[in-house]
Homo-oligomer: A and B are copies of this chain.
Amino acid sequence: MSEARKAVCLLSGGLDSSTCLAYASKQGYDCYALSFDYGQRHRIELEAAAKIAASLGAKKHLIVRIDPRLFEGSALTTGPEVPKSRSGDEIGKEIPVTYVPARNTVFLAHGLAWAEVLGAGDIFLGVNAIDYSGYPDCRQEFINAFEQMANLAIKASVEGRLRIRIHTPLITMSKAEIVKLGALLGLEFRLTHSCYDPDASGRPCGRCDSCLLRRKGFREAGIQDPLEYLA
């Protein structure tokens, strides 16, 4: 029996990255989940990530700290307040204040280092370019450029032992399609956390971009979201 292939799966604890991890696991990969503590206001997502990694049978889950001074000024860290109550139609028209400088570049760079250490050629990332917030580092052309760079960067690739592939299975899906896929894969939605600005007990606000997109997705998928929103 041949050994399962290893994959590094970036996991925020949100709906998309959790569905992505469930997908990679279903494909038969041994999954190594990687989460980041970068001083985000919604740190409860790290607890969610740990529970999801365990529930989906990840071989290992690493939470890596990133110096938050690098990300100063984003609404997700030290910047202005997370905006609320935009209509669904307003989302995605411009890059919002919740953008975090070079976040996916930094995350994928860490994922690449761990992938080489593990001997994992496959990196899964739950980015989505349809029902999303307009971040430039969620687009396919960024992912392609990162993959190309990655294969020039590491010893294992240059020596021909490892070909790095960045998998983004959700990138062209709507949020409703992601919800349906998650349901199909048996993802425990109650463990996932999407809100940018939860209260102290972790309850989602229901009004930030991320909550609005999630609720719209569940509604359109015709599936009940088990989370209880504050508003």
Contacts and interface: CB of A to CB of B under 8 A. Distances in A.
Interface of A: 62, 64-65, 67, 69-73, 95, 99, 101-106, 108-110, 112-114, 116-117, 135-137, 139, 141-142, 145-146, 148-150, 152-155, 157-159
B95 A158 contact: yes
Contact of A153 (B69, B114, B137): B137
Contacts of A135: 155
Main secondary structure of the interface of A (DSSP, over half): helix
Nearest to A148: B145
A154 B99 CA distance: 9
A149 B142 contact: yes
B146 A101 contact: no
Given A109-B102, A109-B105, A154-B136, A67 B65 contact: yes
B145 A152 contact: yes
Contacts of A116: 101-102
Contacts of A157: 136
Contacts of A149: 105, 142, 145-146, 148-149
B101 A113 contact: yes
A153 B113 contact: no
